[in-house]
Amino acid sequence: MSKRKYFGTDGIRGLVGEHPITPEFVLKLGWAAGRVLSKVGTKKVMIGKDTRISGYMLETALESGLIAAGIDVDLLGPMPTPAVAYLPNTFRAEAGIVISASHNPYYDNGIKFFSSEGQKLSDEVELAIEAKIDVPMTCVESDKLGKATRITDAAGRYIEFCKSRFPRHLSLKGFKIVLDCANGATYHIAPNVFRELGAQVYEIAVEPDGLNINDGCGATSTDFMRKAVLDLKADFGIALDGDGDRIMMVDHTGYLVDGDEIVYMIARDALKNGRLKGGVVGTLMSNLGLEVALQKLGIPFARANVGDRYVMSMLLERGWEIGGENSGHVLNLSHASTGDGIIAGLQVLTALVTSEMTLFELRKGMTKYPQRLINVRYKKDNDPLEHDEVQAEIDKVSEQLADEGRVLIRKSGTEPVIRVMVEGKDSAIVEAAAQQIADKVESFS
């Protein structure tokens, strides 16, 4: 397989104003995607975006490129990533494109593509688009240009889809929920979903201004939600990220329930109700406690490379349905074609309501091993992992931990960050070991 030039593990992403996240490149990308997709029968594409300020600029550029290639465009406006994966099938479009940098700050942005089946494009299609970017741009004849239409009822359709994933005979009446929408794409959707299912919803971070997406809120900054849960004496809290494909939860005691625990609760409930198909896919970053807890239930567990793309690939390969990452990406292919924070939350609440337990009680059964993750940012032209001294430090710590823990060092697929993760039985040893490696990586960054 040829090496990708622009596409990473989660589409094309970068700093706004720097290649490739510029109006010129995104115009060409839209045209190239239109040319490639039109050859496989695509005549209409849907575009959604999150709430960051650069979305307007990139949406216009992408729209223009697609239209120049003869593709009709449906504009969805602010819309969660999983909604853009779902809606093309509803509107009989052949593809969906999301303008979003997910959990990243407002000054980053990116482009993600979904097929009409709601899954990310194949490697072959992405490589074909990349090849087309490198040829001169042309324009179809005027009578073959695409047309643009703004869709006004997309949010309502997606709200109804989410609600349909919660059993009709159940209700959230009586629950007090804190809902943190990260000032992102779910701000006008998630509160309606949970409220219309009967819950008393206290919504926070639902006032996007283009700059405050993921800023001290959402699934990557959960202290805001945790404080609100404790102050309001809520039953639990749910935090989504900027594009709605991640979820974190907090129980009434303020304990943070991460993606590994959410996957565990969903899988255990599926097993209990005879709906579990095969096993569960995690990643190299999944806590060892998840693997041990599933093993006790007799549920097979496999680890994929980090990234929901790889979790999805392994699920499809094995014919399984449930998987996810500790960062909050949760997949259940019997409910949605991609990771969906709202729907994952509803699955947990289904188990909570039917079991008549609190979230505090529901999460019991899995004990997380102490794990420390340190992100070290580096300059793009200087890879610290290429230095022998860094590798020697990693090997040294791994030998010290022996069978009492594990070390995982990986580069982010979306930003110039090296993730240093150490896991083991003793939290003090884990903390010291992670810091030891991170300091060495940083010294060469």
Catalytic residue set: 102
- The β-bridge relationship of strands 108-115 and 301-304 is unpaired
Separation of alpha carbons 284 and 190, rounded Å: 30
- Please give the Cα distance from 402 to 109 (Å, whole number): 40
Q: Which stretches of 299-340 are DSSP H helices?
A: 308-318
Please list the residues that pair with 149 across neighbouring strands. Answer: 74
Distance of alpha carbon 173 from alpha carbon 133, whole angstroms: 52
Q: Which helix (DSSP H) or strand (DSSP E) does residue 203 occupy?
A: strand 200-204
- Mention every residue, 6+ apart, whose C-beta is less than 8 A from residue 229: 178, 236, 237, 250, 252, 254
Are the CB atoms for 149 and 75 separated by under 8 Å? Answer: yes
DSSP tag of 329: B
* Residue 150, phi then psi, degrees to nearest 5: -95, 125
3-state helix, strand, coil in the chain (%, to 5): 40, 20, 40
Tell whether the torsion through CA atoms of 276, 277, 278 and 279 is positive or negative: negative
Q: Is the dihedral of CA 146, 147, 150, 155 positive or negative?
A: negative
